Chain A
Amino acid sequence: MSTHPLLEEEGAGTPAAGSEPTRSAEANLSPPTKLSGPIPWVIAILIALVVIAAAGGLSLRNLAENARADLADAVTVQIIEADPNERDIQAEAASSALSAHPLVTSVRQVPQDELEELLKPWLGEGAASDNVPIPALIDVELSRRASAEELAALQSVLDGALEPLGGGARVDAQSQWLRPVYDALSALQYLALALIILVSMATAAAVWLASRSAFANHRETVEIIHLLGGTDAQVTRVFERPVIREAAFGAFIGLVIGLAAVWLLGRQFASLDSGMVGGGGLDLSDWLIIAAIPVAGVLLAVITGRITIGHALKSML
């Protein structure tokens, strides 16, 4: 019988205790996994939902901020007077009084035909009839957002100017009558955030179940690796490889699906050609946040997988 070289060579055998294998060596230990299981697809769906919710939330935030910026420093003055001649006189007087106010930067009396055009969808051709009295509207741009006290002062100025003419005017801060819209937008943003949190929790739960299942299926392998001197960290790394692979695949597919949905929704809203909706576009920082979602998804999966496997290992000797 020949003597095995292992018995002749010094240093061919037991390596130093406590040393760690290379990552490529650990890769050889990974159990075989196929991407045909349900988990990558579950992750893909969840990531797609997060992408859509995040894009929606960011879009609503931009929309609300743009609308606020446009309307915060503007007020509308209404002069309600049935007699068209009186109405014009009062409107002129109001415009003059407003122009002299230090807070006001510009005053524009909305032309009659523009008003009729605005009302046509509701009143039809009757909007142009003299039988339907239409209030005069004055768009007023302010140098900054006015406080409630400053709006009250503006109202007093108008009252003082129009009282000798026997008329009156009403000041409407556009931000106030749009407040319910802002509140609704805020609620939708919170809804998007809640959806993101819920879907993240669902992703963690899916990975937890998948990790537990993978661990149970490969318990024999784990025991063997342990009995041959493998550490918990090595076993964890071996098992997190397929988790990372599946999560990365699912996250990429989810991102593609989510972006496709966002693009389609964007096109639909863009076709509305509404000034308000136009303010809901996404800028570069928003796209970066959306691009970070799959990365965060993979990180979440890795952390969840690591914790799950760590707990399972502690139950073994």
Chain B
Amino acid sequence: MGFPRLLTADKSPVMDARPAEIVKFDNVGLRYGTDPEVLSDVSFTLFPGSFYFLTGASGAGKTSLLKLLYLAQRPSRGSIRMFGKDVITSPRSSLPDFRRRLGVVFQNFRLVQHLSAFDNVALPLRLAGTDETKVQRSVTDMMEWVGLSHRMQALPQTMSGGEQQRVAIARAVIARPQVLIADEPTGNVDPEMALKLLRLFEALNNRVGTTVIVATHDVHLLKKVPESLIMRLNKGRLSDPTGALRYPPAPKPKPKTQKAGASK
């Protein structure tokens, strides 16, 4: 059972008074200009410490939905609540506080081109005012962990796609966010690194209680996290094959190893 276990596993003081729901979309629609809606009647709830996959064909609206989640876009209609507050009616000046509780892996990495890999990873910590000695230590450890300790001073344009992706992921998780949003995070890395990164997401999910939502169209990836819940987008509308959107969420399937043990 993922949900209760994750609640007890959470030790972050920020999360002590957290609401039962961490994100709630209600009848959200999104259109760009006068074009038809790219997202229609999207309603779902994300619970603390859960692991979600967002799937769907190209053009289904995954990136648009993630943009709403990481507050890069306002919806055309509907309401969005995050951390117990209405995001739509919150003043613009309060958005940084929401965003500092999110970690985002963008589809095209979105690294700051004039900053080194180290400074890119350090960015969320520095923006949040973390002590510089802590920044140095945390970022150095993180760079080592993603296998880029030899590329810390490299500028993004001199790095391969896989390296840039690892920098982007390191930047997204360095501040130990309450919600991690990843748009195709394993698209440019080899299978070994993809698995390693996925395990990092799982570890954040299990040990820190981070809510993780990963957009992907790689069905093999879904199988790597058996306890995950799946949200599927089809032409801008959301379906719920694993009961992810229900409250309380549907029980997650047991891991294969446990199933094997039960059959004996």
Contact of B100 among A17, A29, A232 (CB under 8 A): A17
Residues of B within 8 A of A10 (CB): 11
Q: Mostly helix, strand, loop or mixed at chain B's interface? A: helix
- Cβ-closest chain A residue relative to B15: A14
**Cα A3 to Cα B203 with chains together (Å):** 8
**Cα A228 to Cα B73 with chains together (Å):** 14
Q: CB distance B200 to A4 under 8 Å? A: yes
The listed residue with most B CB atoms (<10 A of its CB), out of A24, A220, A227, is A227
Chain A 231-255 per-residue mask, 1 if CB under 8 angstroms from chain B, else 0: 1101000000000000000000000
Contact of A6 among B14, B173, B178 (CB under 8 A): B173
Given A4-B142, A21-B128, A221-B112, A226–B99 Cβ distance below 8 Å? yes
Residues of B within 8 A of A16 (CB): 128-129
Contact of A231 among B93, B122, B177 (CB under 8 A): B93
Interface residues of B in 172-197 (CB under 8 A from A): 173-178, 196
Q: CB distance B138 to A230 under 8 Å? A: no
Chain A interface residue count: which class? 35 or more
Chain A 1-17 per-residue mask, 1 if CB under 8 angstroms from chain B, else 0: 11111110010111111
Q: CB distance A15 to B99 under 8 Å? A: no
Interface residues of B in 125-181 (CB under 8 A from A): 125-130, 132, 134-135, 137-138, 141-142, 145, 171, 173-178
Given A14-B178, A17-B100, A317-B72, A228–B138 Cβ distance below 8 Å? no
Residues of A within 8 A of B134 (CB): 12
**Cα A1 to Cα B115 with chains together (Å):** 29
Contact of A225 among B113, B123, B173 (CB under 8 A): B123
Q: CB distance B174 to A13 under 8 Å? A: yes
**Cα A10 to Cα B11 with chains together (Å):** 8
Chain A 28-39 per-residue mask, 1 if CB under 8 angstroms from chain B, else 0: 110110000000
Contact of B72 among A5, A25, A227, A229 (CB under 8 A): A227
Residues of A within 8 A of B111 (CB): 224
Interface residues of A in 16-71 (CB under 8 A from B): 16-22, 24-26, 28-29, 31-32
Contact of B101 among A17, A31, A223, A234 (CB under 8 A): A17
**Cα A29 to Cα B138 with chains together (Å):** 18
Residues of A within 8 A of B85 (CB): none
Verify if B8 is at the interface (C-beta below 8 Å from A).
no
Q: CB distance A20 to B129 under 8 Å? A: yes
Q: CB distance A14 to B100 under 8 Å? A: yes
Verify if B256 is at the interface (C-beta below 8 Å from A).
no
Q: CB distance A317 to B92 under 8 Å? A: yes
Residues of A within 8 A of B138 (CB): 5-6, 12-13
Known: A6-B138, A28-B119, A224-B112. 10 other contacts (CB 8 A): A4-B142, A13-B138, A17-B128, A25-B129, A227-B71, A227-B72, A228-B171, A229-B128, A231-B93, A232-B93
7 tightest CB-CB pairs across the interface, nearest first? Answer: A13-B176, A229-B100, A19-B129, A15-B128, A25-B126, A229-B99, A21-B129
